[in-house]
Amino acid sequence: MLYENLAHAYDKIESTSGSLEKIKILSDLFKAAEPSVVDKVVALTIGKLHPDWKDEPEIGVAEKMAIQVVTAAASVPESVVRELLRKTGDIGSTAEELLGASAQATLFAQALTVPAVYDTLDEAAKISGSGSSKEKISKLVSILTDAHPIEARYILRTVTGSLRLGLGDMGVIDALSTAFTGSRDARSAIEDAFNVCSDLSRVACVLAEKGIDAVRKIHTEVGVPIRMMAAKKLSSPAEIMEKVEKKALVEFKYDGERIQAHKNGDKVTLYSRRQEIITNQYPDVVDLIRTHVKAKSCVLEGECVAIDPATGRIRPFQELMRRRRK
C-alpha cells in the first residue's frame, strides 16, 4: 500500500467531525490494505511503532529537531520555517506548504510505501550515541525528499506525536471490526484480544490474515502484559451503588503504584499501569517474588506501596517516585 493512501485517508478523517464517519473512512482504509501491512497501518494510525512493553525506542522528535528536518528537506533558511510555524501552529502543515513550494519536491521522488515509511521511522528511532541527532535528521530528511506535500504533513505529525485524527483505540477497533467482519459486532472479541496482549497492531494482523476466530484464540502469555482495568468515577456513593445494582465488594484504596508481575522460572518482569517495564525500579519486589512465589510460571497484579519500617505505616506515594527512571 502506498503511504499516500494513508495521508489522504488521514486528511478526510481530520476534516470530518462525526465519529461514525471517521470510523467508516478508517475501515475503508483497512479494507484497501494488503493483509501483510495492516499491522503497520494500525501502528502509524495510533502513533506508536511498538507497544510500550516491548521496550523499543519510539520515534518522538522534539519541535527543534523537526524544524531542522523541514529546513533541510525544503532547502530553506530555518528562519523561514520558524516564521511559517508561528502562523500555522503545526509543523506538519508547515512542512506541507514549504515542500509544496519547493521545485525539487517531486522531481526525483519515488512513491513511498507504508512499509518504507514505517521502517524508516523505526530505524530513525533506534539511532543513538554520538552524532545521533545529525544521523536521525538525515534519515528523516531522506524520506521527506520522496514525500508529496500531504504525506510530509502526516509524517511530521507522526514523528512529533500530534497526528490529530480524533480517534482513540476504540475507534480503531470499531474500524477493524467493520473492515474485516462487516459490522461492529466483533468489537468485543477484538477488544478482549487487545486487553490480553496489549498490542493492537498484532491483533489487527491476526484479524486481517486469519480472521476473527483466530483473534478469539489470542490468550494470556507470561511476558506479555495484560492491559489493566481502570475504575470509572461517579459523583457519589449512592450513584455507585445504583450502578452496581446495590451489590459491591469494596477494598481499601492503596496510594501506591500498580504493578503487574510476570514470573517465568527465575525471570521476573514488572510492568506499570501503562505496560512499561519497571523491573529495575523494584529489585526488592523481584527478590520477594523469586523467593516466595512457588509457581514456575504465573502473572500477579497488585499495588506496590512504601512502608515505614519503624511504624509499619504506609508512606506517601511520592516515596516510590524517587525510584522512577530518569
CATH number of the domain where residue 146 is located: 1.10.3260.10
Say yes or no: 151 and 242 in one domain. no
Nearest to 187 by CA among 160, 210, 161, 215: 215
Give the Cα separation of 191 and 221 in Å (integer): 16
Is 110 contained in some domain?
yes
Is 23 contained in some domain?
no
The pLDDT score that the predictor gives to residue 324 is 67
Which among 126, 159, 192 is the end of a domain? 159
Rg from Cα positions in the chain: 23
Say yes or no: 53 and 152 in one domain. yes
DSSP sequence for 218-259: ---BTTBPPPPP-----S-HHHHHHHTTT---------SEEE
Nearest to 156 by CA among 78, 87, 64, 70: 70
Is 182 contained in some domain?
no
CATH number of the domain where residue 294 is located: 3.30.470.30
Give the Cα separation of 144 and 162 in Å (integer): 17
Tell me how many domains the chain contains. Answer: 2
Say yes or no: 56 and 152 in one domain. yes
The pLDDT score that the predictor gives to residue 263 is 98
Give the Cα separation of 219 and 163 in Å (integer): 31
Is 29 contained in some domain?
no
pLDDT by residue for the chain (326 residues), tens digit each? 999 999 999 999 999 999 999 999 999 999 999 999 999 999 999 999 999 898 888 888 999 999 999 999 999 999 999 999 999 999 999 999 999 877 555 556 689 999 999 999 999 999 988 888 999 999 999 999 999 999 999 999 999 999 989 999 999 999 999 999 999 999 999 999 999 999 999 999 999 999 999 999 999 999 999 998 877 889 998 898 888 887 888 888 888 999 999 999 999 999 999 999 999 999 999 999 999 999 999 999 999 999 999 998 999 888 888 776 54
Which among 159, 180, 195 is the end of a domain? 159
Cα dist from 173 to 13, 24, 29, 191, whole Å: 15, 12, 13, 7
Q: Indicate which residues carry an active-site annotation.
A: 253
What domain range includes position 92? 48-159
Is 35 contained in some domain?
no
The pLDDT score that the predictor gives to residue 129 is 85
Which among 144, 159, 174 is the end of a domain? 159
Give the Cα separation of 51 and 197 in Å (integer): 10
Is 264 contained in some domain?
yes
216, 210 contact by CB (below 8 A): no
